[in-house]
Amino acid sequence: MLFIDYSSAFNTIISTKLRTLGLNTSICNWILDFLMGSPQAPAYHLVLEGILILWIIRLLFSKTYKLQERSDLTEKEKEDLIEEWQPEPLVPPMSKDHPSLNYDIVTGPPSHKIIVNGKECINFASFNFLGFLDNERVKQKALTSLRRYGVGTCGPRGFYGTFDVHLELEDRLAKFMKTEEAIIYSYGFATIASAIPAYSKRGDIVFVDEAACFSIQKGLQASRSFIKYFKHNDMEDLERLLKEQEIEDQRNPRKARVTRRFIIVEGLYINTADVCPLPDLVKLKYKYKVRIFLEESMSFGVLGEHGRGVTEHFGVNIDDIDLISANMENAVASIGGFCCGRSFVIDHQRLSGQGYCFSASLPPMLAAAAIEALNIMEEDPVVILIWFRFFIFMYDLVNKYFQIDSYSAVKSVIGEVYAPALHLQLERSSGSRDTDVRMLRSIVDYCLERQIALTLARYLDKEERFLPPPSIRVVVTIEQTEEDIEKAASCIREAALAILK
């Protein structure tokens, strides 16, 4: 061990040099104490302290830098790239018969008889399942509300945008669906798109059906979670994914404990018009400990004895489903959407639901209209049963027409027997989506001339994850009579024969 003894190292400094500089004795003595504080220090102490002091100085003078931004281009290369760049036109060139450029104009309300391009047609296109759009009671209630509250609320729920009608509607929806609490959103699309990212964050895992609608896809995109798609209504595929996840979890149990897992399904799928197998899903939920979010936009007011949706239809206990989300723009003929479930779950959305906190609340007259629609649904559940048989009728009819004919291979009917909205797809695609769409559009035009209003199912082609094949969507509502449905079915058949050959 090397020792340095410097007890006499500073002798000359103190006695001669410091005194000649004129420093006073006590300060000299203090300096002497400081310098002589450790006169017999091991060498490595001094070396270590020297290194530390140098390290401090180095840290003090180091530059701040960000980790990612390091571009390896020289100035000249940057200039060259900027000069080469040609801006793309704001509006890309497109053909004259693009659907966005030729749209049908509706005059008046889209009720049972709809005026399309000046011609009055029977409406087989709007989702007015229970006919509440034209219902006198609903209209009167809305008008009274309009006179009382005005039109808009001019504020989100947190800034004086909460009216008594909102609270009443939430209360009524919770009671109707037999859950603890409900929350209202002012835009149907934003309902599920706000609900998903409120619960599912980065690092969480979501298992979604491939046929999920666009709003669910946007909600998943906003959530930044890991998304795993399973084949449409294929419980074995879902179970395979869940098993893989279980194996992953066992490999890293600490991470698994903080990861949330969700299954998101729709009650009645808008893209394929069939129903999810809810009892099997509930079994999987309890086996693999995942939470179920059910999107019931199409099935609310349609399925179940009283219109409570797919849970009532299958007889599943509503408490087994963690969150039910629906929009009120279909059967209820209002605007907006709601989520219902346990208070513990729904309360979270009051601060975390982006569409709830940051959008203006639902106009009170629409909330009043929704309350009245709920009243009618509760008073007269027979209303729902009546058109149940309309669907069956329609389905049989369409099937009958298309099976008798040798052109039965021309179009196929997609959808469940009791689905209110069916899809008619081409059995054999011509190869290009454009030609398919054009053919279907000509069928729609043929029917429009004969006063049947149909529509093509529209998608954002580039944004959809699993783009469904082009189809005509036929909606059966309670206001259509049997003759209307016969007329529509025969018209579609003639159109298919004439155009599809």
Q: 400: phi > 0 → left, psi -120 to 50 → alpha, else beta; which?
A: alpha
Q: How many CA atoms lie within 13 A of 428 on its CB side?
A: 7
Question: Minimum CB separation from other proteins for residue 31, in Å?
Answer: 11
Smallest gap from residue 199 Cβ to other proteins (A): 11
If you write DSSP's letter for every residue of 68-89 in order, what string do you get?
S------HHHHHHHHHH--PPP
CB of 5 to other proteins, least distance (A): 12
Of 236 and 248, the one with the shorter C-beta distance to other proteins is: 248
Residues in contact with 73: Cβ distance below 8 Å, sequence separation at least 6, in sequence order: 81
Q: How far is the CB of 346 from other proteins (least distance, A)?
A: 17
CB 207 → other proteins: shortest distance, Å? Answer: 18
Q: Work out whether the CA dihedral 35, 39, 43, 44 comes out positive or negative.
A: negative
Angle, helices 278-288 vs 235-251, to 10°: value is 10
| Residue 197 or 355 having the CB closest to other proteins | 197
Amino acid, res. 144? T
Q: Which is nearer to other proteins, 163 or 199 (CB)?
A: 199
What's the closest the beta carbon of residue 336 comes to other proteins, in angstroms?
Answer: 23
| CB 424, CB 436: distance < 8 Å | no
**Which residue, 25 or 435, is less far from other proteins as judged by CB?**
25
Q: Closest approach of Cβ 29 to other proteins, in Å? A: 5
Give the nearer residue to other proteins in terms of CB position, either 13 or 28: 28
Residue located via tokens 């270590």? 48
Q: How far is CA 170 from CA 154, 167, 374, 468, in A?
A: 19, 5, 11, 34
- 348 vs 194: CA distance, rounded Å: 12
Q: Is 146 helix (H, G, I), strand (E, B) or coil?
A: helix
CB within 8 Å of 480: residues ≥ 6 apart: 112, 122, 124, 390, 488
Q: How far is the CB of 470 from other proteins (least distance, A)?
A: 34
What letter would DSSP give residue 195? H
Q: In what order do the strands lie in the sheet containing 421-426? A: 411-414, 421-426, 471-475, 455-456
Of 137 and 224, which has the nearer Cβ to other proteins?
224
Binding site for other proteins (CB under 8 A): 29-30, 33-34, 36-40, 45, 49, 52-53, 55-56, 59-60, 62-68, 197, 201-203, 222-225, 352
Q: In terms of CB distance, is 150 or 203 closer to other proteins? A: 203
Nearer to other proteins, 199 or 401 (CB): 199
Size of the chain in residues: 501
Q: Which of 486, 299, 495, 493 is nearest to 394 (CA)?
A: 486
Between 108 and 203, CB nearer to other proteins: 203
For residue 347, the minimal CB distance to other proteins (Å) is: 14
Residue with smaller CB distance to other proteins, 37 or 93: 37
Q: How far is the CB of 456 from other proteins (least distance, A)?
A: 35
CB of 30 or CB of 160, closer to other proteins? 30
Find the shortest distance in angstroms from Cβ 202 to other proteins: 4
The CA distance from 470 to 8, in Å, is: 98
In a 3-state reduction of DSSP, which class is residue 207?
strand
Segment holding 235, helix H or strand E: helix 235-251
Phi and psi dihedrals of 445, rounded to 5? Answer: -65, -40
SS (H, E, C) 385-397: HHHHHHHHHHHHH
Beta bridge partners of residue 120, listed in sequence order: 115
